[in-house]
Amino acid sequence: MKTRVISGCLGAVLLILVLLCGVTVLRIAVGLVSMLMIAELFRAVRLRNWIIIPAAIFAALLAANVFSAEILFPAFCVYLLIMLSIMLFCYKSLHMQDVAVATLFSLFIGLFMGCLTRIRMADGGAYWIWLVFLGAWGCDVFAYFTGCQFGTKKLMPDVSPKKTVEGAVGGTLGASICFLLFGLIIGGLGNIHPIPLFFAGALAALCGQMGDLTASVIKRQCGIKDYGKIMPGHGGAMDRFDSILFVAPAIYICMLFIQ
């Protein structure tokens, strides 16, 4: 427990520094974390082939929003050509299913993590970016304590035995209240309206829990406990960012409609 608390505090300090340092630092950090997540997913599905290199690079470039709108489509075409070419020349050791999984992982991580940089680069993004982490981890905290106090009915016992319906409801309500308070405190600075944020908080919490459960399904199917060991007591990058992956696009969409 001591190791978990220490590594968690260090991770939180590092995250705050990255968010405060501006867009460029965030883009670099998101790109690096995306590559790490790709490596963890490849390890989970036991896909050991150098196809991980283009998959990780493309995911990082997508996440860092390197491609402009004009070159995104041709870049995607080139990426698919590279992946299919690798399948052609490595047909004895690399199956079509492996290429499909690698491509899915790169798009999943690249596009969803890319929402973080898109949020930060938008007007008022310096304030909206905090809502991603508030929605994901705020929901986790409220869900944990609500589940411990009142949890009786299991949410998805075959996927995550400890999660309860009561915890999910408590996490959703808690995240909504946190979003509302955030809007009331600094809403004027970031052009954020408090009332719509209450419902955005509920959406973020639901998406975060979906991300957590989706990551758990992958771990169950792959027969692993954690994705990695980069954070002692917490697991890998996927273990820490599974809910963030789903909350980021939800917040990005809410930002487009609320502002």
DSSP string, the chain: -HHHHHHHHHHHHHHHHHHHS-HHHHHHHHHHHHHHHHHHHHHHTT--STTHHHHHHHHHHHHTT-S-HHHHHHHHHHHHHHHHHHHHHTTTT--HHHHHHHHHHHHHHHHHHHHHHHHHHSTTHHHHHHHHHHHHHHHHHHHHHHHHHH--SEEETTTEEEEEHHHHHHHHHHHHHHHHHHHHHHTTTTT--HHHHHHHHHHHHHHHHHHHHHHHHHHHHHT-S-S--SBTTTB-HHHHHHHHHHHHHHHHHHHHHH-
pTM: 0.90
Residues 71-125: tens digit of each pLDDT: 999 999 999 999 999 999 988 888 899 999 999 999 999 999 999 999 999 988 8
Helical axes 2-20 vs 125-150, angle rounded to 10°? 160
Per-residue pLDDT, 1: 61
119 vs 234: which has the higher pLDDT: 119
- Split at pLDDT 50, 70, 90, the class of 191 is low
pLDDT at 189 over 60: no
Give burial (CB, 10 Å; 0-12/13-18/19+) of 145: middle
Nearest to 37 by CA among 65, 13, 60: 60
Quote the pLDDT of residue 2. Answer: 65
Q: Which residue has the higher pLDDT, 169 or 188?
A: 169
| C-alpha triplet 211, 64, 31: angle, nearest 5° | 70
Instruction: Name the least confident of 92-101, 135-144, 179-188.
Output: 179-188
pLDDT value at position 60?
97
What is the reported pLDDT for 199?
Answer: 93
Closest CA to 171 of 181, 161, 179, 159: 179
Answer for the pair 47, 98: CB distance below 8 angstroms, yes or no.
yes
- Domain ranges in the chain are 26-121, 123-259
Kindly report the average pLDDT of the chain as a whole number: 90
160 - beta bridge partners?
Answer: 156
Q: Is the pLDDT of residue 190 over 60?
A: no
pLDDT band at 184 (very low <50, low <70, confident <90, very high): confident
Say yes or no to pLDDT of 42 above 70. yes
pLDDT > 70: percent of the chain? 95
